[in-house]
Chain A
Amino acid sequence: MKLDPSLLARIQFAFTVSFHIIFPTMSIGLASFLAVIEALWLKTKNPIYLQIYRFWLNIFAMGFGIGVVTGIVLSFEFGLGFARFAQMAGPAIGPLIALEVLTAFFLEAGFLGIMLFGFNRVGPKLHFFATCMVALGTLLSASWILSANSWMQTPAGVAIHDGQLTVVNWRHVLMNPSWPYRLPHMLTAAYLTASFMVAGIGAWYLLRGEHQDFARKTVALGTAFATVLIAGQVFIGDIVYGTMLKYQPSKMQAAEGFWEKQSQSPAPYYWFIVPDQKDQRNRFALGTPVLGSIWLTHSLTGRVEGLKNTPRELQPRMALVFFAFRIMYCLAMLMFAIGVASLWLRFRGMLFNSRWFLWTLVFMTPSGIIATLAGWYVAETGRQPWVIYGILRTADAVSPVPSQALLSTLIAFVCVYAVFITSFLVFTFRIIRQGPVEAPVYPEASGSIKNAFRPHVLDSPKRLADSQFS
């Protein structure tokens, strides 16, 4: 059987990057959540915040570790699967990835140890500073990577001479047209992911009648954050939509499921279609009349542009883009509705009593991850057949390696990543099953950095706490 190296390279990258993005999404959101929780603990000295911090720190640490390891793999894959892309885009992309390492990774590496193991070794304020630095590191990391990816979506600041790309304006490369909107869109997605995870696990404890104080606080915090964030996300998402419609119209044409150059008036909003790319039509379409005009053109009679506006050879696969977009969009609407319901239940004092709502939160625990994955599928599959939009086609970016090499490494990745995800899930469920551990009211170390290196602090945190507070 003859396998297409181009297809294998794409499948391999799609698999590894899909796996990877789950973990940075969690760690970006959880790092900031932990910083907020530690700030609340420092302000109130309420031990419940310390309990929440310690519980989520363990899950954050595992997610962070897997995120870093699987992220490094992606850089190597540029060489393994997409060497021609690396060769051409290197002058623009390379420095951005190097800057991510120099700024974000160094910052995270410097403070992660204090964050994870420093509770008994440094003072609470220094520990809080470490948490904030790790959270800042995750933000910087996201910023550089979004800058690189957004440049691939809306390339700017470069010139091409004899097939070689040269940067002519770094500011334009960094702040390319889609980056200012895609960055907050991704960051808000990460915060939403963390909010629904926190609320969902708190709801699980409430339903089981366990760890009631911890559960009430996390459900209250998670739903409050999620409600505010989803409103912001919907607003930012609409701006991203408008930006992509301007720079990559084919992506949004595919996302809406219309084929004809102009849809009928008024246009329906399609919830489900069976597209036929070959015949350039939908075999089946299920939609709400008029809603497409209202939503997409902001009028009652507006027409929506279809994919036939894009030459056939430059069209993305409609099915992938359409369904990924629908999953993301429907989850956003569901999150919004849950946010509003949580406000109502909070107003009525029923937030922790409504079992149907708590079950909904439990089922929504992974919703942020699913929505983020779907959003990235829209971004990446909608850009096809380009890897750098309008400059380099994906088919021309693939490494000249035999398909057997790509297939064997793909199988290896699947096996190794299966171990990763299994370990992560086993340990996460174990942490959840064990539940939060009772935390002391007071911080456990005295506060100054010099205490961090005293042997008795390192050896016996309890002795220090006893000597300090007895």
Chain B
Amino acid sequence: MKTSNELHRVHAVTAALLGVLFFFIIVGVFGLPFAIAGLVVFVLGAVVVCRVFPTEDARL
């Protein structure tokens, strides 16, 4: 049975792999309009996550 920490690791790696797929969109594989849209969505998403989930208060 996997520990919680291992599950978090698997989730994070999965998220990173999905991110690499996003990389394909931004790099222009589906054309410039999709690349621009992908960039905007990614940046807005990143800003929202960073602002909504400020984790500086979390302790080790």
| A contact set with B: CB distance below 8 Å | 206, 209, 212-213, 216-217, 220, 224, 227-228, 231-232, 234-235, 237-238, 294-295, 298, 333, 336-341, 343-354, 356-357
Residues in B with CB closer than 8 Å to A216 are 55-58
Q: How far is the CA of A232 from the CA of B46 in the complex (A)?
A: 12
Report the separation of the CA atoms of residues A177 and B60 in the bound assembly, to the nearest whole angstrom: 50
A209 to B60, CA, bound (A): 9
Is the interface on chain B under 10, 10 to 19, 20 to 34, or 35 or more residues? Answer: 35 or more
CB distance from A266 to the nearest CB of B (A): 14
Q: Check B39 against A231 for contact (C-beta < 8 Å).
A: yes
CA A126 to CA B59, docked complex, whole Å:
36
Inter-chain contact count A-B, CB under 8 Å? 115
Looking at chain B's contact residues, the main secondary structure is helix
Q: Are A224 and B50 in contact (CB under 8 A)?
A: yes
Give 1 or 0 for each of B35-48: 1 = CB within 8 Å of chain A CB. Answer: 11001001101110
What residues of A have a CB within 8 angstroms of the CB of B50 in the complex?
A: 220, 224, 227, 343, 346
A212 vs B36: C-alpha distance when bound (angstroms): 38
Set of chain B residues within 8 Å of A354, measured between Cβ atoms = 8-9, 12
A341 touching B16 by the CB < 8 A rule?
Answer: yes
A-B contact sample (14 more), CB < 8 A, given A344-B11, A350-B12? A220-B50, A234-B26, A337-B17, A340-B15, A340-B18, A341-B12, A343-B15, A343-B45, A343-B50, A345-B8, A349-B53, A349-B55, A351-B58, A352-B60
Is B49 interfacial (CB 8 A cutoff)? yes
A and B contact pairs by CB, cutoff 8 A, 19 listed: A216-B56, A217-B56, A220-B55, A227-B50, A228-B47, A232-B39, A235-B27, A235-B39, A238-B27, A336-B20, A337-B16, A340-B19, A341-B12, A346-B50, A346-B55, A347-B53, A351-B58, A354-B12, A356-B9
Give the chain B neighbours of A340 by CB distance below 8 A: 15-16, 18-20, 22
A228, B46: Cβ atoms closer than 8 Å:
yes
Closest chain A residue to B15, Cβ basis: A344
Say yes or no: B12 contacts A345, CB within 8 Å.
Answer: yes
Say whether, besides A298-B31, A333-B20, A343-B15, A235 and B53 are in contact (CB < 8 Å). Answer: no
A348 CA to B58 CA in the complex, in Å?
Answer: 11
Whether A234 touches B55, Cβ cut-off 8 Å, given contacts A336-B20, A341-B12, is no
Question: Given contacts A212-B60, A238-B35, is CB(A231)–CB(B43) below 8 Å?
Answer: yes
